[in-house]
A = this chain, B = another copy of it.
Amino acid sequence: MPNPTAAILIIGDEILTGRTREGNAHHLAGELVKVGIDLRQIRVISDDHQTIVAAVRELAGSHDHLFTSGGIGPTHDDITADAVAEAFGRTIDVREDARAILAAHYAARGVEFTAARLRMARIPEGARLIDNPVSGAPGFSVGNCHVMAGVPNIFQAMVAGLLPGLTGGAPLISRTWQVMVAEASIADDLRGLVGQFPDLSFGSYPFVQDGVYGTNLVVRGTDPAQVAAGHAALQAAFPEGK
């Protein structure tokens, strides 16, 4: 059975204007590999209601899971929850369970529960809450769309709570063989080797280190024995590597 597929949708003008270097997608990509969910696309879009609605519909409709990051805080530019509700045809309002979580969180810390903070208890009808152990305000899952905060430590905590409950497949295994030659020097031999392992994926990633050209050859697959065979073939073909 093929692994479930996924897309990540990052919502935020701060990425598109170059102000912030996005890191949540990179973190989640690494976690999805471990649980056997195949990430097919990452998309970054702006804080625009109709843009979010359209992207959520398209990506949730074409993947087994859609994970979103950003736009669920208390300010005017936090519009993700309403857009996701519209994309799934759900109503959205302050929900009692989310309100209670926030109330308990603020009460324990002596923080005032303002109207702006109450906005973070707006949850689409029928959604399941995602725990936020960092700052209280929960994320949520509607259908196959998992809506999480953009602040990196909160995003990571939500991912850690969410992923164990999702059904994954065979984890993707990868091994790297590094050779200190330009990739063009080995391209022909590599092409021949790749053809011998139809169930594996091979990537070639050139780099320059202290002025010297090198290439990382990465073999990926879900069967440990096959990946080991592919890695051994790389070692045999390019014995000068490490």
The answer to whether B116 touches A188 (Cβ under 8 A) is: yes
What are the residues of chain B within 8 A of A206 when measuring CB–CB? 73, 151
Copies in the complex: 2
The answer to whether B17 touches A33 (Cβ under 8 A) is: yes
With an 8 Å Cβ cutoff, the count of chain A residues facing the other chain is: 66
The answer to whether B17 touches A26 (Cβ under 8 A) is: no
* Closest CB in chain B relative to A214 CB, distance in Å: 12
A174 within 8 A of B: yes
* Closest CB in chain B relative to A35 CB, distance in Å: 12
What are the residues of chain B within 8 A of A180 when measuring CB–CB? none
What are the residues of chain B within 8 A of A32 when measuring CB–CB? 18
What are the residues of chain B within 8 A of A33 when measuring CB–CB? 17-18
**A17 and B76 in contact, given A44-B42, A116-B184 (Cβ under 8 angstroms):** no
Q: Which residue of B lies closest to A55 (CB)?
A: B41
Q: Which of A83-91, A125-133, A139-147, A197-205 contacts B (4 or more CB under 8 A)?
A: A197-205
Pick from B17, B41, B207: contact of A220, CB below 8 A. B17
What are the residues of chain B within 8 A of A115 when measuring CB–CB? 188
The answer to whether A77 touches B203 (Cβ under 8 A) is: yes
A22 within 8 A of B: yes
Pick from B10, B16, B202: contact of A29, CB below 8 A. B16
| Binary per-residue interface labels of chain A (142-183) against chain B in the complex, 1 for a CB within 8 Å, 0 otherwise | 000000000101000000000000000000101000000011
How far is it, in angstroms, between the C-alpha of A10 and the C-alpha of B8 when the chains are bound?
A: 14
How far is it, in angstroms, between the C-alpha of A71 and the C-alpha of B45 when the chains are bound?
A: 23
**Interface residues in A1-40 (C-beta closer than 8 Å to B):** 10, 12-23, 25-33, 39-40
Interface residues of chain A, those whose CB is within 8 Å of chain B, are 10, 12-23, 25-33, 39-47, 73-77, 111, 114-117, 119-120, 151, 153, 172, 174, 182-185, 187-188, 190-191, 194, 201-208, 218, 220
